[in-house]
Amino acid sequence: MAGTSDVTVSSPPASSSRTLWFGFSDNLAATVAPADPPPTEEEPCQKNHIEMAESELANKKKQAEDLEEEVKTLQVSGDKLQELYSEQDDVLGRIFGGDYGSPMENRLEAE
C-alpha cells in the first residue's frame, strides 16, 4: 500500500504497575490537590469574627499598656505625696514639739 506507514502499536509491558509504561503512578488523582470548595455562608462570618477578635485583642493590649503607664505615673505621684506628708509631719513636729492639734488627735496618733 502506498502511503501507509509502518507503525506498530505495542501493548504495555507485562507488569503489575503501569508506572513504568505511562511514567506516573496510578495515584495521580490523589497527588493533585483538590480545588477549594466554594465558601459557605458561615466562612465570611467566621472570618469576620476572627478579625473582630484580633482587633479587640489589639485594643485590650493597648489598654493594658496605657494602664501600666498610668500606674507608673500614679506610683511616682503617690511616692511624692508620701514624701510631702512626711516632710509636713517633720515641720509640724519641730514647730509644736510633737504635740499639735487637739489632745484627742494626739492621743489617737499615739495609738
Is the pLDDT at 4 greater than 70? The verdict is no
Three-state secondary structure of 5-64: CCCCCCCCCCCCCCHHHHCCCCCHHHHCCCCCCCCCCHHHHHHHHHHHHHHHHHHHHHHH
pLDDT tens track for 32-65: 556 666 667 777 788 899 999 999 999 999 999 9
Q: Where are the domains of the chain?
A: 41-110
Cell of 94: 519641730
Most confident of 2-16, 23-37, 67-81, 91-105: 67-81
Residue whose grid cell is 496605657: 66
Q: Which of 83 and 93 is assigned the larger pLDDT?
A: 83
